[in-house]
C-alpha cells in the first residue's frame, strides 16, 4: 500500500498516533476514572462545606478540561473551572490526599484497576490503518500524556509495533510541556528522524489537535468519537473522520 492510499500527501514520512480514543477504547475508561475521582472529591467537599454538589460530566467536562492533557494539568484545569484551589502536594502523595497530585494518583489507581479488570479494546479500523502505515514504510510513533502507555499497549496487543514512544513518563523525564503544547509530538518526530512538516498527527482530543496545529505538522487528522467534528476542526484538525479506516482507499 502506498501513502496516497492512506489519504496522505507524498511529503509525509512519519505518522504520530495518539493512543486513547484513536487506537484504543480507553478514552471512555479514563472518563469513567475521572468521574469517580472528581465526584468522590466534590461530594465530600459539598458535605463538609454545604456547597452545591455538581457532578463531573464524563463527556463535556472530560473533553474540555482533561482529555489529552497530562494528569496533573487535567486536575488543575477542572478544579479551576469549579473555582477550587488545592495544594500541589508531591508525586508520591497517596490517592487519599486532597492535593493536585493526590487526586491525579487516585484517578490513576482507578484507571489501572479498570483496565486490569476488564482489559483494553482497540478500534479495529484504526489498528488496521496503523498496520497499513507500517506496510507503506512509514515510521510510526505513539504520543500520549498517559504514564500507563506501555501497560495499555501490552493489554491491547500493540506492543512492539511503534518505532518511537513518547508518553507521560518520557515527557516528565525530558521536561516536555503537555498538550495543547506541541512539544511531545515534536519530540516524537525528532526521534523518528522526521520533520514536523513531514509528519501527520492523529488525535481525538481537542488539546491534541491544537498541539498538531501549533507544531506546524504537515497534516492533522481529527478522530471524532464523540460527535465533536466541528470543534475538532475549530481547534486545528485539517481532516476529521470517525475512524482512521475511512482514510484507506481500496481502489
Domains contained in the chain, number: 2
Pair 87, 7 in one domain: no
Is 67 one of the annotated active-site residues of the chain? no
* Same domain, residue pair 171 and 196: yes
Q: Can you give the residue range of the structural domain that contains 140?
A: 3-26+122-247
18 within 8 A of 144, measured Cβ to Cβ: yes
pLDDT digits (tens, 9 = 90+) for 14-28: 999 999 999 999 888
Same domain, yes or no, for 75 and 139? no
In this structure, the answer to whether residues 65 and 9 fall within a common structural domain is no
Final residue of a structural domain among 83, 118, 153: 118
Mean per-residue pLDDT pooled into runs of 10, the chain (251 residues): 85 96 90 95 93 92 88 94 94 94 95 90 96 96 93 92 96 94 98 98 95 97 94 96 92 49
* 3-state SS assignment for residue 219: strand
Shared domain for 239 and 130, answered yes or no, is yes
Q: Is 18 in the active site?
A: yes
Instruction: Provide the whole-model pTM.
Output: 0.83
**112 and 95 together in one domain:** yes
Same-domain pairing of 147 and 222 = yes
Q: Domain check: are 110 and 152 in the same one? A: no
Residue 49: all three cell numbers together = 462545606
Render 136-203 in DSSP notation, one character per residue: TT-EEEEE-S-TTHHHHHHHTT-TT--SEEE-HHHHHHTTPPPTTSSHHHHHHHHHTT--STTEEEEE
Q: Choose the final residue of a domain: 90, 118, 146.
A: 118
Domain harbouring 224, CATH code? 3.40.50.1000
Q: Cα–Cα–Cα angle for 123, 159, 189, nearest 5°?
A: 85
- Per the CB < 8 A criterion, the answer to whether 107 and 6 are in contact is no
pLDDT of residue 1: 66
Whether residue 130 is found in the same domain as residue 239: yes
**Same structural domain for residues 60 and 87?**
yes
Say what the pLDDT of residue 213 is: 97
Task: Tell me, yes or no, whether 128 and 152 share the same domain.
Answer: yes
The single residue of 20, 73, 108, 183 carrying the catalytic annotation is 20
Side-chain half-sphere CA neighbours of 47 within 13 A: 6
Check which CATH number belongs to the domain holding 35 and give it.
Answer: 1.10.150
Exactly one of 2, 18, 57, 163 is catalytic; which is it?
18
Amino acid at each position: 500500500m502506498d501513502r496516497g492510499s492512506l489519504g496522505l500527501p507524498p511529503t509525509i514520512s512519519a505518522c504520530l498516533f495518539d493512543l486513547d480514543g484513536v487506537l484504543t477504547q480507553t478514552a471512555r475508561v479514563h472518563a469513567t476514572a475521572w468521574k469517580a475521582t472528581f465526584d468522590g472529591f466534590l461530594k465530600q467537599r459539598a458535605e463538609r462545606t454545604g456547597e452545591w454538589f455538581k457532578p463531573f460530566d464524563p463527556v463535556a467536562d472530560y473533553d474540555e478540561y482533561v482529555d489529552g492533557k497530562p494528569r496533573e494539568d487535567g486536575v488543575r484545569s477542572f478544579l479551576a473551572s469549579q473555582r477550587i484551589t488545592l495544594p500541589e502536594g508531591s508525586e508520591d502523595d497517596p490517592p487519599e490526599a486532597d492535593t493536585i497530585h493526590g487526586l491525579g494518583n487516585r484517578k490513576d489507581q482507578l484507571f489501572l484497576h479498570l483496565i486490569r479488570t476488564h482489559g483494553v479494546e482497540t478500534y479495529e479500523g484504526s489498528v488496521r490503518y496503523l498496520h497499513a502505515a507500517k506496510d507503506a514504510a512509514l515510521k510510526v510513533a505513539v504520543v500520549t500524556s498517559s504514564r500507563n502507555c506501555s501497560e495499555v499497549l501490552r493489554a491491547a496487543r500493540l506492543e512492539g509495533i511503534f518505532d518511537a514512544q513518547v508518553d507521560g513518563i518520557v515527557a516528565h523525564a525530558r521536561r516536555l510541556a503537555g498538550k495543547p503544547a506541541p512539544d511531545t509530538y515534536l519530540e516524537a518526530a525528532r526521534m523518528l528522524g522526521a520533520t514536523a512538516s513531514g509528519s501527520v498527527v492523529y488525535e481525538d482530543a481537542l488539546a491534541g489537535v491544537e498541539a498538531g496545529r501549533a507544531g506546524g505538522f504537515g497534516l492533522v487528522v481529527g478522530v471524532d468519537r464523540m460527535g465533536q467534528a466541528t470543534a475538532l476542526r475549530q481547534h486545528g484538525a485539517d481532516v476529521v473522520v470517525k475512524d482512521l479506516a475511512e482514510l484507506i482507499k481500496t481502489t
